[in-house]
Amino acid sequence: MSSTAPDEASNPITHALNLARDTLPPMHPAGRPFVAAGVAATLLLRRVWKPLGAVGALATLATAAFFREPKRVPPERAGLVLAAADGLVSLIEEAAPPPELGLPAEPRMRVSVFLSVFDVHVQRVPASGVVERVAYRPGKFLSADLDKASDDNERNSVLLRTESGHELVVVQIAGLVARRILCQVADGEKVAAGDTYGLIRFGSRVDIYLPPGSEVLVRTGQRTIGGETPLAALPERGA
């Protein structure tokens, strides 16, 4: 049986366009104003001196890359806490959760992931459930890889009740260069593991506080992929 539809696989141009579309990640909407400003600046600089236009174009491409939001496929296994961000596991230690969430000041296991300016900077929901509380707290802008950044820096904390009934805390922390934390979820909202829920500009850290009895599955120095890398296994029964 013959077909009048063109064979896309045999067309090298179409194949290349489809490959580029599948390979290049989309951009988070928060990056569009910055990229648009970069394009405008590039055109102006090019009129002044072409080499300046080339510099502007490279800077615009770097900005677009910073705001990339690649597709992620979370594992199907139930009872996992996924990494909320791409980056490096910098700390695994016990610490009390942020006081602004109103939780007991009892230490819980905390896994901290440091994001450099080269990492994907959108944050992913670590487990499916319901957002119980969102709390923002202004603060300093110390280097996000320092221990005291969790206590002193500007941060946005989310208390999540997982489908199995566990309390999970995920905290976006501003860094030395970061000056803006974006959180796109609100109290009472249902969320799914791996979905994008926020973004930090430009260099930052994300802490996850685990419920008692969780099994940590990563080690210090390991790199994580937000929405895909299992950070921990939750206890079998909820609180």
Question: What is the mean pLDDT of the segment spanning 146-155?
Answer: 74
Active-site position among 90, 112, 128, 204: 204
CA distances from 180 to 82, 122, 169 (A): 24, 12, 20
Half-sphere CA count of 205, side-chain side, radius 13 A: 29
CA dihedral 129, 133, 134, 139 (to 10 degrees): -130
pLDDT tens digits, one per residue of 198-211: 988 766 889 999 99
Burial category of 20 from C-beta neighbours within 10 Å (exposed 0-12, middle 13-18, buried 19 and up): exposed
Q: Is the pLDDT of residue 13 over 90?
A: no
The verdict on whether 204 is a catalytic residue reads yes
Distance CA 125, CA 148 (A): 24
Q: What is the CATH number of domain 80-233?
A: 2.70.70
pLDDT tens digits, one per residue of 38-84: 899 999 988 889 888 899 999 888 878 777 888 999 999 999 999 99
Sheet order of strands, 122-124 included: 122-124, 196-201, 180-183
Q: Where residue 148 falls among pLDDT bands split at 50, 70, 90?
A: low
The count of other CB atoms within 10 Å of the CB of residue 17 is 12
Each domain of the chain, given as residue ranges in start order, spans: 12-67, 80-233
